[in-house]
Amino acid sequence: MRIKYVANVRIPTPRAQGYAIMKMCSEFSKAGCEVELLVPNRKNTESIEKNPFDFYGIEGNFRIKKVPSPDFLGRTMKFGKIFYWLDAILFFFGVRFFIKLKKDDVLYTRDFLTLLFFSRRRKIFLEVHDIPSSRFLFHKLIKKPKGFFVLNENIKKILVEMGVSENKILISPSGVEISDFNIKIDRNEARKKINLPADRNIIMYTGHLYSWKGVEVLAETARLMPEKLFVFVGGVEPEISLFKAKYDAFKNIIIKPFVERKQIPFYLKSADVLVLPNLANEKISSDYTSPLKMFEYMASKRPIIASDLPSVRQILTDESAFFVSPNNPDLLAGVIKKIFSDSSASDRKVASAWNDVQRYTWKARTELIVDFIKNENTL
């Protein structure tokens, strides 16, 4: 099977979607597919010069094709939304008219705008990570794909309500490379490796610093717990500068900029508690997301505190994580204290999370998707 993965993403990028796309392409290849990733030839705004395979630590077993594309957004943010849409449409136009696609090629994409440029006769499969707030165009275009891969039951329900047949939808949460996080290193050794103090209780968050991810709730929790050290790992501009301006002066907050993926397992192993503090007031957070960090937390064998949201409950349970009502630093502080006062409960939840995460490997995810595509009932 030949797969053309179409992604309007600058590769490489520190954003999680870049890693997920590259990882899926590699796993498709390992599953016996001939894979080509089609991306715009725009320069990376974060000035990352590394080879994409080296940057992500991913086996170079597929091709990356850079499609000639303008980069209006890279020149100025003055007309942000307009230039974003213009760049995107011109990239998909380039894929349609400048890339040779064979009749039996499978077109795989996370960008529903790709559907504008291809007919229903094509074998198009759409991976859906959220539902646009303005649904008119999305509703029109979702008649074209042969199948859909959605992150959770919430997204599937909406697609069915919009007229998509249930047998064309596969629920496929994000994944994790468990071996990357199941490393033989204790907490103190990990802290020495990444220069974190050995004598403090560390509460950690990894990932981007977008407001809907609840990072400010966690930072405000630090105000209530000066005896604990709160470590934030990740983030790019402009979010990291805004976050630092507000919280960098706190003596019990450490803000680390983006680090390469190969360092993340050491950070997670250095922590006493890992937090997923998503907010409740945005659909992307409450209903749609399937965060990579959630699976990485589970694979790291550390206690997890998560906002009690439908999106998170798709994977985590009361047996595998501590839940807290979102948007509330006082309640979050209370749960953190509970973890340090009841190690036996923490150990039970860590063991349960480790057992559960075995089902969510990238390999398992890819095999289910490949089988779904090959099934003649979906074509």
Check residue 310 and give its pLDDT: 97
Neighbours of 62 (CB within 10 A): 22
CB 116 within 8 A of CB 141: yes
pLDDT, averaged across the chain: 93
Q: Give the pTM.
A: 0.94
pLDDT digits (tens, 9 = 90+) for 244-287: 999 999 999 999 998 989 999 999 999 999 999 999 999 999 99
Query: Does 116 or 225 have the greater pLDDT score?
Result: 225
Domain holding 150: CATH number? 3.40.50.2000
d(CA 264, CA 64): 25
Is residue 273 domain-shared with residue 143, that is, in the same domain? no
> Is 49 exposed, middle or buried (CB count within 10 Å of its CB: 0-12, 13-18, 19+)?
exposed
Is residue 214 domain-shared with residue 131, that is, in the same domain? no
Is residue 256 domain-shared with residue 298, that is, in the same domain? yes
d(CA 188, CA 351): 21
Asked if residue 124 has pLDDT above 60, the reply is yes
pLDDT grade for 378, boundaries at 50, 70 and 90: very low
> Is 189 exposed, middle or buried (CB count within 10 Å of its CB: 0-12, 13-18, 19+)?
middle
Is residue 294 domain-shared with residue 365, that is, in the same domain? no
pLDDT digits (tens, 9 = 90+) for 141-163: 999 999 999 999 999 999 999 99
Is residue 243 domain-shared with residue 353, that is, in the same domain? yes
Query: Does 177 or 76 have the greater pLDDT score?
Result: 177
Is residue 66 domain-shared with residue 168, that is, in the same domain? yes
Structural domain range at position 148: 2-175+361-378
How many structural domains compose the chain?
2
d(CA 301, CA 127): 29
pLDDT digits (tens, 9 = 90+) for 321-343: 999 999 999 999 999 999 999 99
Is residue 288 domain-shared with residue 374, that is, in the same domain? no
CB 2 within 8 A of CB 105: yes
pLDDT grade for 99, boundaries at 50, 70 and 90: confident
Is residue 166 domain-shared with residue 253, that is, in the same domain? no
Is residue 266 domain-shared with residue 318, that is, in the same domain? yes
Check residue 11 and give its pLDDT: 92
- Section 16-42 average pLDDT: 96
Is residue 309 domain-shared with residue 347, that is, in the same domain? yes
Is residue 196 domain-shared with residue 287, that is, in the same domain? yes
C-alpha distances out from residue 51 to 27, 72, 149, 348, Å: 18, 24, 29, 41
Tokens 């007309």 found at: 79
Is residue 163 domain-shared with residue 222, that is, in the same domain? no
